[in-house]
Structure 1
Amino acid sequence: MPSLSDLGQLPKRLVLGRPVRSDRLGESLLPKRYALPIFASDPLSSVAYATQEILIVLTLAGTAFLYLAPWLAAGVVVLLVTVVLSYRQVVRAYPSGGGDYEVAMKNHGQFAGLTVASALLVDYVLTVAVSVSAGTDNIISAFPTLDEHRVLIAVGLVALLAAANLRGLRESGRAFAVPTYLFISGIAVMIVTGLIRWFATDGGLVAETAQYTVTPEPAYDQLGGLALLFFALRAFASGCTALTGVEAIANGVPAFKPPKSRNAATTLALMGGIAATMFAGVTALALLADVKYVEHPCDLEGFANCETEPQRTVIAQIAAATFGGDSSVGFFFIQAATALVLILAANTAFNGFPLLGSVLAQDRFLPRQLHTRGDKLVFSNGILLLAGFAVLLIVAFDADVTRLIQLYIIGVFTSFTIGQWGMVRHWNREMGLEPDPAARRRMRRSQIINAVGGSLTTVVLVIIVITKFTHGAWLVLVAMPILFVLMRAINRHYSHVSEQLVPDTDSRLLPSRVHAIVLVSKVHKPTLRALAFARATRPDALTALTVNVDDADLRGLRADWERYDIPVPLTVLESPYREITRPVVDYVKAIRRKSPRELVVVFVPQYVVGHWWENVLHNQSALRLRARLQFQPGVMITTVPWQLESSVGRDDDHRNGPAPGDLRRGITGDADADADATPYG
């Protein structure tokens, strides 16, 4: 029959499954067919909103500048191909999984490395928030009545993603592979069908918003010169969201099956080709079908219910136009596949963030807990931390993609830029060490690719910062320095601690004397056990110490002391103000002042109880004593537990046995305390 401890573990086991042994880590490595949906779902799914973001900006000026959309989309495709080629050089040169962070740290130094790390950490959080919110949008496009539950749906989806990733890489890969491949297939069928319908019916591909006109925002309908250039660059910057997540494969190389670098490079090429094709096809269909999508729905003249109904997404409008309306099977298939892949696109961040966090923790820039693997050999703490921050953003911005997207891509293009220029320096150094001319030519070719990539991403980063700063991007530019300073502070702390813990000659010297002190409140089993243990250590001096806070209690204690004939003198500290902690601490300090090389060991009797509410019923003065004494040099604190009956069977490893506190009663067993109280005071 399962015990209470078994039942307490049941929810965890239902979510995570059985724990995995450390020696089975190699079995969790990914083949390319799973790596693609896990690491590339973000850039693949961005086709669902990248075109939409271009249209949102262009329609601020009505429909006058929609002719720019194909050129802007072409620029995005060129940039995507260049960045993919650049990252293929990164995964070959740095297969350890640090990605741009490792490149920047080794080629530019700590400042650049931490800048990249802070940018990527922020971007991963935004990836989850934006992807889940965009997926929620597509769910609402199919079922508009769910609009009022937008935030709740998005938060629930983040929780589901976190649970799936906590189960392990291979298990999440299997779960995410089918929706990703269905999305790719669905978009491919939609593009081919839409193009056939356009050419076969002589322009018969018409979106539901084609007959609407767009009311331009004030002053946007008279753009010219530099204002028009700035406007076009802003739309291009919004379309660059199609590049988010490209870096995740470089950060996730250790998760690939051998040969890791080659498999990662192949997956990058597949991802780049598929993403570029889908983005170009969706943009072409949106323009052919005359899709209108605006920032404020009521700017669509003819949209009668703009105050109460949400706009259909660009993908939803294209699917309806291609497959014959919003009640067709094709429409619902595309909406379901798009919503699923957008939600699962956050999985790119759920794999990239914990891996990067682990590398940073190993380098002592983040807490060491982020380097610890959980039950399923994944970095559980990183997954939970990412989910928590993403939920905060979703709640703060009401799961609104248009508002969240303004914060997006600054981080990823910062890492792109620093990483690519770091690779240029890397190849310079490697060519100086390579005598083989053929190898030097290969390195020169790689350097040119990275130089072109660095130049393009630098230009795009400047465009993004300038065009998006006043639209919310300043929040990211504030968050990144805060993370930078925090990581520097954590690193200084770890370095300072390491310096203090280096062994020296003093740490090897034995103490001149050992003075044991047993804290006494009354004569009972915990006190007698503490005295027995203290005597067993054979100290040079042994003091049974009590504090007089009540004369009547002290007289009773003295009487019991004599009646039980305890062979240790009782030392009494007077406390006219009924304090316990201060007199004991002062007494210990006095011993240390008198003999600085003398070691003082304080034995603290403690009850061990089995229920949280029992702690409330017992005095916790020893907790305060331990908190004060631990700051005193040359003082050791030894807790002597006494297990009460309520703690029996609380240990998971010996859940059917009695507690060690029963040994004196003639019962064998073992248990640990999950809560404590003290008999002292």
Structure 2
Amino acid sequence: MFAKMKRMLIGRPLKSNEIHSQKLNKLKALAVLSSDALSSVAYGPEQILIVLVVAGGAALWYALPISLGVLVLLVALILSYRQIIFAYPQGGGAYMVSKENLGVNFGLTAGGSLLVDYILTVAVSVSAGTDAITSAFPALRAYNVTVAVVIVVIITILNLRGLTDSATLLSYPVYFFVVMMVLVIGAGVFGALTGQTTPVHPHTPIGTPVIGVSLFLLLRAFSSGCSALTGVEAISNAIPSFKDPAPKNAAKTLLMMGGILAFLLAGTVFLSYWYGIRPMSDQTVLSQLGGTLFGRNIFYYMIQVSTALILVLAANTGYSAFPMLAYNLANDKYMPRPFKIKGDRLGYSNGIITLGVMSILLIIIFSGKTENLIPLYAVGVFIPFSLSQTGMIVHWIRERPKGWTGRLFINLTGALICYLILIIFFLTKFGQIWPVLIFLPIVIFIFHKIHQHYMLVAEQLRLDLSIPLRSVRTTDNIIVVPVAGITKVVEQSLTYAKSLSKNVIAVYVGDSPQAISKMENEWNQWNTGIRLVTLHSLYRSIISPLDKFIDTVKWKADQTGATVTVVFPQFYTKKWWQNFLHNQSGTLIKASLIRLADVVIATVPYHFKK
């Protein structure tokens, strides 16, 4: 049943040689990998206005120069990451750049920040999308968390179907949002030029001094607006997902994303200023803008639907980039190896599922409140931004290829701006972002412990090929077969045990002298030629007496260099639910024996046909 449901949800398994079918062209990649960045149009400008409105509606004109500063940073980041794409075509983005040029710990800092940031990407995007839905349908406001969790589950399943399947389906809403935003900006500019649309509030002329506006307030608004730049790095992390030539296609996609994002950000901020839009608790800025330009008609609801979809699907950037980054970290032995395994649809399923589960936990913990997550979300991405720019500076100085000075200048500019943003974040929003100073060292510590474990495992498994395999006489081996009675299951296990060695011991644990006596009589009648050892359990426990007996056997075997093998008779029911009708003593015994060093555990299965 589980297999049928799995096939229905994620489709048939793909062959390894079908990997080329899972590569993305530029248009699909733009939709999948840029959805996070493009979705920031729905909340980035609003975050600027939320900070400025504290000083009054007259202060909202400052959003224009602040957004101009954000656009300058966007250009610097786009040019910088374009260089990273060609310098590191294998992907990995900030993690690879920082690790190779600044050292392992800086690489792990960048990688850890991005992993956490991708989890936040999903949580923030889905929470914001849910806010957009409830703005249009207030009756759903009480079910914010439930709606958000359901959305995450759906997106997780879509991504488990494979990259191209999810890209094909999810690209339509992304381009639908872009088209709707172009219509909004076009209608807004037309209304402003003709005066046909009445502003919600009169806008303050540009340059008007406003009492209460301080440098601290402006820096805080600027740092909030920089949340619109999250997701810019995703394309450089996922270069292997592109069709060949992957670096060129990735670079072109990055430029396309930068151009679209710049246009939408600039247009949204300008229209918000011109029409006097002010942030409200129960309605988003885009909702107000759509209502002002079109009224509550079909176009308004199309804008709301497209906004909700892009915010929700922005999570897909995390689903595309998180598994790839987790793969790179696992490949370097800093994350568990299961993150390197491809699933049935040739995607890194363990990374996808992990991302979905962690995002749901965040949404539940923060009760779906987007504003509580955005500061952590933004600072989490500017740490790898800064480290990647610094790493590229070191790269150009070290390599010095033709034209390296111009490239160095681009990365130096990007680095200075990114570090400035980080300083502003910590000065203006320390109360909201301080957790990053706790969880990031913890994540790096976990990376090192995982790496240490793998190094120790490799050391213990490493074999000296010059030493020949030692010879062992099978007659020395001791086979222990725990038996609960005389059945066909036991018969099959004893036959197998005798094929391994002549030194076979059957062990029966009884809870009363009568049970032991009955077992001994039946065993003698059976005449197996195998010695039966009976143990009396005063406390009705099977595990403890058996453990002590095997410990004794193991100690004696160590004297001669013999191997101890415990062979378990195990039956399996025809229907899965029938397993619950039987005790699981064999499983418990095996779990207990695993702690014993150098004891071989074997299971002989017996399958029921009825």
What's the TM-score bracket when you normalise by the shorter of the two chains?
Answer: over 0.9
Alignment partner for residue 22 of structure 2, among 28, 44, 47?
Answer: 28
Displacement of 1:397 in angstroms is 2.2
1:626 paired to 2:583: no
Q: Name the structure 2 match of 1:496.
A: 456
User: 2:197 — aligned with what?
Assistant: 205
Q: Normalising to structure 1: TM-score of the pair?
A: 0.84
Is 2:421 the partner of 1:460?
A: yes
Partner of residue 526, structure 1: 489
| Alpha-carbon distance in structure 2 between the residues aligned to 1:451 and 1:150 | 43
Task: Tell me what 2:446 maps to.
Answer: 486
Residue 245 of structure 1 is matched in structure 2 by 231
Paired position in structure 1 for 2:332? 363
Aligned-residue offset at 1:103: 0.7
- Alignment deviations for residues 272-323 of structure 1 (CA, whole Å, 9 cap, x no partner): 11101110011111111011115xx4xxxxxxxxxxxx2x211122222223
Q: Match for residue 235 of structure 1?
A: 221
The residue type equivalent to 1:251 in the other structure is: N
Question: CA 1:576 to 1:390, structure 2 compared with 1: closer, same or farther past 3 Å?
Answer: closer
Cα offsets for 1:346-399 (capped at 9, x unmatched): 111111111111111222212211221212111122112111122222222232
Q: Deviations over 1:427-468 (max 9, x none)?
A: 12212xxxxxxxx34222212211111111111111112212
User: How far did residue 404 of structure 1 move?
Assistant: 2.2
Q: Which stretch has the larger CA shift, 510-519 or 102-111?
A: 510-519
1:336 to 305, 311, 317: 305
Q: Which amino acid aligns with 2:423?
A: V
The AA in structure 2 aligned to 1:601 is T
Secondary structure at 1:566 match in 2: coil
Structure 1 residues 527-566: aligned runs within 5 Å = 527-539=490-502, 541-566=503-528
Checking the alignment, whether the CA contact within 8 Å between 1:100 and 1:419 is kept in structure 2 is yes
Change (3 A) 1:396 1:593: closer
5 Å matches for 1:125-136? 125-136=119-130
The one-letter code of the counterpart of 2:285 is V
- Range that drifts further, 65-74 or 623-632: 623-632
Counterpart of 2:552 (choices 574, 577, 590) is 590
Residue ranges of structure 2 left out of the alignment (5+ in a row): 205-209
Find the partner of 1:429 among 398, 406, 415. Answer: 398
Superposition deviation, residue 236 in structure 1: 0.3
Distance 2:548 2:471 in 1: 24
1:572 to 525, 534, 538: 534
Q: CA deviation at 1:105?
A: 0.9
- Counterpart-to-counterpart distance in 1, 2:510 and 2:133: 70
Work out which of the residue numbers 396, 404, 408 in structure 2 matches 1:447: 408
> For residues 375-390 of structure 1, what are the structure 2 equivalents within 5 Å?
375-390=344-359
Which of 586, 600, 609 matches 2:564? Answer: 600
1:326 aligns with 2:296: yes
Classify the secondary structure of the residue corresponding to 1:65. Answer: helix
Shift of 1:415: 0.4
Distance in 1, Cα, partners of 2:510 & 2:185: 87
Alpha-carbon distance change, 571 to 339 in structure 1, aligned in 2, over 3 angstroms: closer
For the aligned residue pairs, the C-alpha RMSD in angstroms reads: 2.2
Per the alignment, do residues 239 and 557 of structure 1 end up closer, same or farther by CA in structure 2, a change over 3 Å counting?
same
Shift in CA distance, 411/623, structure 1 to aligned 2, threshold 3 Å: same
Identity in percent: 39
- 1:272 is aligned to 258
After superposition, the Cα gap between the structure-2 partners of 1:636 and 1:272, relative to the gap in structure 1 and judged at 3 Å, is: same
1:622 is aligned with what amino acid? G
2:121 is equivalent to residue 124 of structure 1: no
Deviation of 1:628 after TM superposition, in Å, equals 3.0
Q: Distance in 2 between matches of 1:336 and 1:465?
A: 35
Q: CA deviation at 1:188?
A: 1.5
Whether the 8 Å CA contact 1:176–1:344 is kept in 2: the answer is: yes
Shifted more, 393-402 versus 492-501: the winner is 393-402
How big is the shift at 1:425? 0.8
| Separation in structure 2 between the aligned mates of residue 233 and residue 507 of structure 1, nearest angstrom | 70
283 and 640 in structure 1: CA distance in 2 versus 1, 3 angstrom threshold: same
Query: Shift of the alpha carbon at 1:412?
Result: 0.4
**Distance in 2 of aligned mates of 1:115 and 1:195:** 44
Q: 1:474 is aligned with what amino acid?
A: W
SS of the residue corresponding to residue 407 of structure 1 reads helix
Q: Deviations over 1:150-186 (max 9, x none)?
A: 2222222212211221111111111122221122122
Shift of 1:591: 3.4
Given candidates 190, 200, 213, the residue that maps to 1:196 is 190
After the TM superposition, list the runs of 4 or more consecutive aligned residues in structure 1 that deviate by more than 6 angstroms: none
CA distance in 1, matches of 2:270, 2:346: 44
1:607 to partner: Cα distance? 2.0
Task: Report which stretch shifted further, 565-574 or 17-26.
Answer: 565-574
Q: Paired residue for 1:53? A: 47
Q: Please name the residue that 1:658 is paired with.
A: none
Change over 3 Å in CA distance of 1:250–1:531 after alignment to 2:
same
Give 1:573 shift: 3.9
User: 3-state DSSP class of the match of 1:19?
Assistant: coil
Identify if the C-alpha distance between structure 1 residues 103 and 332 changes in structure 2 by more than 3 Å, giving closer, same or farther.
Answer: same
Measure the CA separation in 1 of the matches of 2:134 and 2:540. 66
In structure 1, what is the Cα distance between the partners aligned to 2:360 and 2:20? Answer: 32
- Counterpart residue type for residue 110 of structure 1: V
2:288 aligned partner:
317
CA distance in 2, matches of 1:499, 1:550: 48
Equivalent residue, structure 1, for 2:163: 169
Instruction: Give the gaps of 5 or more residues in structure 1.
Output: 214-220, 298-309, 432-439, 647-681
Q: Note the C-alpha offset of 1:77.
A: 0.3
TM-superposed deviation, 1:115: 0.6
Supply the AA of the counterpart residue of 1:238.
S
Aligned length: 600
Letter in 1 for 2:511: V
Q: Quick one: which amino acid aligns to residue 23 of structure 2?
A: L
* Larger helix percent: 2
C-alpha deviations, 1:9-31, integer Å up to 9, x for none? 33322221222111101111011
Q: Which has the larger displacement, 583-592 or 113-122? A: 583-592
How far apart, CA to CA, are the structure 2 residues paired with 1:127 and 1:507? 54
The alignment status of 1:638 with 2:602, answered yes or no, reads yes
Distance 2:303 2:541 in 1: 72
**Do the aligned partners of residues 352 and 604 (structure 1) sit closer, same or farther apart at CA in structure 2, a change above 3 Å counting?**
same
**Contact 1:516–1:602 (Cα < 8 Å) also in 2:** yes
C-alpha distance 552-506 of structure 1, shift in aligned 2 (>3 A): farther
Residues 512 and 537, structure 2, Cα contact 8 Å, conserved in 1: no
Aligned counterpart in structure 2 of residue 43 of structure 1, from 34, 37, 47: 37
Match of residue 83 from structure 1 = 77
1:71 is aligned to 2:58: no
Quick one: which of 355, 370, 389 aligns to 1:420? 389
Instruction: Give me the whole-angstrom Cα distance separating, in 1, the residues matched to 2:66 and 2:241.
Output: 35
Using the TM superposition, give the Cα deviation of residue 481 of structure 1 relative to its aligned residue in structure 2, in angstroms: 2.1
1:635: how far off? 1.8
* Cα distance in 2 for residues equivalent to 1:105 and 1:562: 69
Question: Deviations 1:463-510 (Å, cap 9, x if unpaired)?
Answer: 11221221x222333222222222222222222222111124889323
Letter in 2 for 1:557: M
The amino acid of 2:568's aligned partner reads V
- Structure 2 residue identity aligned to 1:534: A
Q: Is the 8 A contact 1:118 1:481 kept in 2?
A: no
1:143 and 2:137 are equivalent in the alignment:
yes
Distance 1:179 1:507, change over 3 A: farther
- Worse-matched range after superposition: 145-154 or 270-279: 145-154
Asked whether the 8 Å contact 2:58–2:203 carries over to 1, the reply is: no
Q: Which of 1 and 2 has higher RCO (CA within 8 Å, sep 6+)?
A: 2
- Encode CA deviations 1:199-255: one digit per residue, 9 max, x unaligned: 112xx43344x2799xxxxxxx9636xxx1111000000100110100000001000
Match of 1:159 among 131, 153, 156: 153
